[in-house]
Structure formats: structure tokens, C-alpha cells
Amino acid sequence: MSENGRSRRNGGFDEDSAQIQEHQKKQDEEAQLEKIWKELENSEEGIEIDPEKFLRDMAILDDLIPLPDFDLSASWQEFKETHHNLLEGLDSADQQSSAFASEEERPKRKRSMKPVRVALVVVMILAMLLMASCGIIEYIIKAIANWSDDVFRYEVTQELNVEVPDPENTEVGAYVSLEDALEAYGVTTEYVGIQYPEGFTYKKVQVWEYSDSVKLMATYAHNEEEIIFTIWHYKDSTSLELQTAEKMPPDAECYVSKGISHYIMDNTAMVTATWIVDTEMYLLAGGVSSVEMKRMIDSIYEG
């Protein structure tokens, strides 16, 4: 009798028979498993299977190969204890996300704008201090008087891009007086009557005509010394092409006469004063002292 055959003793249920039965059962289970695995492989290869049958097979598998007893919570706790260093970030992120969630759930509070306003005010004050330290003093017409240690200039605050017809070539002319030249070019200004220091007499007037302005320069001389008085007359304030004046440190002195700001500065052996009235820019320069320059400026308005 083969080992695998059924025993006839004890109704076929003796000790040997029990072993054989168990062996037989195991063989049946293995065959069943083999069959189910084959069906699963077929399903992976795209061969159609009956889903109900598949579920039944899975239930059989559960019965045949029961899962060992497994405590999920205890296992997770053990894992956390083992890898607590790695999990710290995750834990805080979890807490943070839960905090955000609770914040979203809460009704939103009206946020205070006070800190922003205070910040803006402080920034504005600092910006103003910065501008003042750069030498920006005041606005004149549409220009800003601005100087460094070495140069003085009025800077226009708008883009210069004047569309004009073809201008005539620059010309230099000769006139008997500054008033004569002003009249010839249709420039009307009352601010030309300067009382020059003793000994200085009229020498010449030169005129340069540009596309949108005319420059009239009168020269007064005493021996080798010269005082020049220049007027740039612009067609309108939008065409102000302002001059850069050379200067020595430190600051240009703002001298106000008849409500007009005159900027006085040293340039090596000369003293220069410049100012703007309406669409005229004036420049007075010569080898004189600052006091004499102020006296000449005052004389313009005493007239």
C-alpha cells in the first residue's frame, strides 16, 4: 500500500490514515493555490477573468493562508520610537497643517494696518532725508536745483523730446548793448539792469540761436577781468535745456532776493550765480567776491 492510499483499518481513520488525510488535504490546498495563482497570472496578462470567481478565490486564499496576528497601533508606535529623529519634522508639519486648518475654519479677523502705515511713514521720512542730503533743495518751475561738490545743474523733471521743424544754423551776431540784442530777438525781461562793480564797462554781446532757445551773452570788462551775464531764453518751459555749471565744494549758497532763489558758487578764480525766472535762465559770472555778487544781484531788482 502506498503511503498516500487510504487505510481500511478503523474505518479508514487510524493514525496513519489521519496523517495521510492531512497530507492529502495539503496536496489539495497546494493544487488550489496553484490554480488561483495561475488565474491571477492570467489576469495580469490581460486574459479576462470572472470577478465574482476572483473574489471567491481570494476568500479561499484568506482561509488557506491566514494572516498572522498583527497589532497595527503597536507596530506604528514601535516604528515611531525607533525613528523618532526622522519623524520630528513630519510631526511639526502635521501640527502646522492642523493649525492652518483650524485657522481656516475660524472666522477671519480684520487685520490691523497700523504697522504698515508706520513703516510707510518711516520710509518716507528716511527717503526725504536722503533726498535732502543729496542737495535737492526746491523746485523751480519744472526744474530742480541740484549740485554735487563739483557741478551745479537744474535738472528737468520731464522727458525732452521736442518735435520741431528743421532749425536754422547757429549764428553769432554783434549788438551795441544787451537791451538791443534782447529787443532784436523779441525777449522781454526787466531783469537785466545790473550795477556792475566800478571800472567794469560794456564790451560786447554775442547771440547764439538754437532750435528752441536763444542765448544772449553780454561781456563787461575791466582791464583783463571780465564779468559775463548770460540769458538763455526758452520758447516755453517744456524746452528748458538746462546748463551744468562748474563749482567748487562745498554747497551752492541759496541767496533769495525779491523772492527769487539765486544759487551762488565758487569756480576756481570766479564766482558764479544762476537763477531761473519764467522761461529765462540767467548766469552771472566773474572774478568778484561773493559779497559783490550779491550786491549785483540786488541791483537787478532795485532797478
CB atoms within 10 A of CB 229: 22
Nearest to 181 by CA among 226, 214, 227, 222: 214
The answer to whether the CB of 153 falls within 8 A of the CB of 146 is yes
What single DSSP character describes residue 216? E
Counting Cβ atoms within 10 Å, is residue 115 exposed (0-12), middle (13-18) or buried (19+)? exposed
5 contributes a contact to another protein by CB under 8 A = no
Rank residues 31 and 130 by Cβ distance to another protein and give the closer one: 130
CA–CA separation, 265 and 288 (whole Å): 11
Buried/exposed code over 201-221 (b: 16+ C-beta within 10 A; e: otherwise): eeeebbbebeeebbbbbbbbb
Of 126, 176, 254, 256, the one binding another protein (CB under 8 A) is: 126
**Beta carbon of residue 204, minimum distance to another protein (angstroms, whole number):** 9
102 contributes a contact to another protein by CB under 8 A = no
274 contributes a contact to another protein by CB under 8 A = yes
Rank residues 73 and 161 by Cβ distance to another protein and give the closer one: 161
Q: Draw the binding track, 169-208, toward another protein (x: CB under 8 A; -: no contact).
A: xx-----------------------------------x-x
Rank residues 16 and 266 by Cβ distance to another protein and give the closer one: 266
137 contributes a contact to another protein by CB under 8 A = no
251 contributes a contact to another protein by CB under 8 A = no
115 contributes a contact to another protein by CB under 8 A = yes
Q: Which helix (H) or strand (E) holds 301?
A: helix 290-302
* Residue ranges in 17-46 that form contacts with another protein under rule CB under 8 A: none
257 contributes a contact to another protein by CB under 8 A = no
Cis peptide before 250 (omega within 30 of 0): yes
Q: Nine-digit cell at 263?
A: 544759487
Counting Cβ atoms within 10 Å, is residue 156 exposed (0-12), middle (13-18) or buried (19+)? middle
Rank residues 189 and 211 by Cβ distance to another protein and give the closer one: 211
Query: CA geometry: angle at 12 spanning 7 and 13, to 5°?
Result: 115
96 contributes a contact to another protein by CB under 8 A = no
10 contributes a contact to another protein by CB under 8 A = no
- Looking at the chain, how many residues does it have? 303
Span of 12-20, 41-49, 84-92, 126-134 interacting with another protein by CB under 8 A: 126-134
243 contributes a contact to another protein by CB under 8 A = yes
Which residues lie near another protein (CB under 8 A)? 111, 115-116, 119, 122-123, 126-127, 130, 133-134, 148-151, 159-167, 169-170, 206, 208, 210-212, 215, 217, 219, 225-226, 228, 230, 241-248, 266-270, 272, 274, 283, 285-287
